[in-house]
């Protein structure tokens, strides 16, 4: 009887462990909004491995007025936006931003439908980034 109880408790612990792992993995979403602080951490984490692409989806005029260092500009409102997305590597990690986070959220949804694997939206956009005194 004791052997059965021991086996049952091990099975219970393994089941609970697997459940916790599942919940943790499910909480890591490859398409999500992140704060400027989280975005800064993401940028620093991938600074040297050439995996992260900063994608500014504002107009060229807005981009010229100031953007994150090293960002690529693809205007969400341009008629060829979807076609230009097809030129990008879908296996890379993307941090998408605009001025307030609305256009970049739309861009993230389009990217998800086009098969991109991992895209983050800068919540609050460049406005919030600058309000927190983060460098461009």
Sequential pLDDT tens for the chain (136 residues): 555 454 455 554 545 444 443 444 344 478 899 999 999 999 999 988 999 999 999 999 999 999 999 999 999 999 999 999 999 999 999 999 999 999 999 999 999 999 999 999 999 999 999 999 988 8
pLDDT of amino acid 120: 97
CATH number 3.40.250.10 is the correct assignment for the domain at 30-131? yes
Is residue 73 within 8 Å of residue 60, measured between CB atoms? yes
pLDDT of amino acid 44: 94
* Whether residue 98 lies in the annotated active site: yes
pLDDT of amino acid 11: 57
- Between CA 26 and CA 24 the distance in angstroms is 5
pLDDT of amino acid 2: 53
Task: Note if the pTM is more than 0.75.
Answer: yes
Is residue 121 within 8 Å of residue 108, measured between CB atoms? yes
Which residue out of 52, 54, 68, 98 is catalytically annotated?
98
pLDDT of amino acid 5: 54
102 sits in which H/E element: helix 102-113
Q: How many CB atoms lie within 10 A of CB 5?
A: 9
**Domain segments of the chain as ranges:** 30-131
């Amino acid at each position: 009887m004791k052997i059965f109880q021991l086996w049952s408790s091990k099975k219970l612990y393994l089941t609970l462990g697997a459940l916790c792992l599942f919940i943790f993995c499910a909480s890591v979403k490859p398409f999500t909004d992140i704060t400027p602080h989280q975005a800064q951490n993401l940028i620093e984490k991938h600074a040297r491995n050439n995996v992260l692409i900063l994608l500014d989806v504002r107009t060229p005029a807005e981009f010229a007025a100031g953007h994150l260092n090293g960002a690529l500009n693809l205007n969400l409102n341009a008629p060829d936006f979807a076609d230009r997305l097809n030129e990008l590597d879908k296996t890379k990690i993307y941090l998408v931003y605009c001025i307030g986070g609305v256009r970049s959220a739309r861009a993230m949804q389009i990217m998800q439908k086009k098969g991109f694997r991992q895209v983050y939206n800068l919540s609050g956009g460049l406005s919030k980034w600058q309000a927190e005194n983060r460098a461009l």
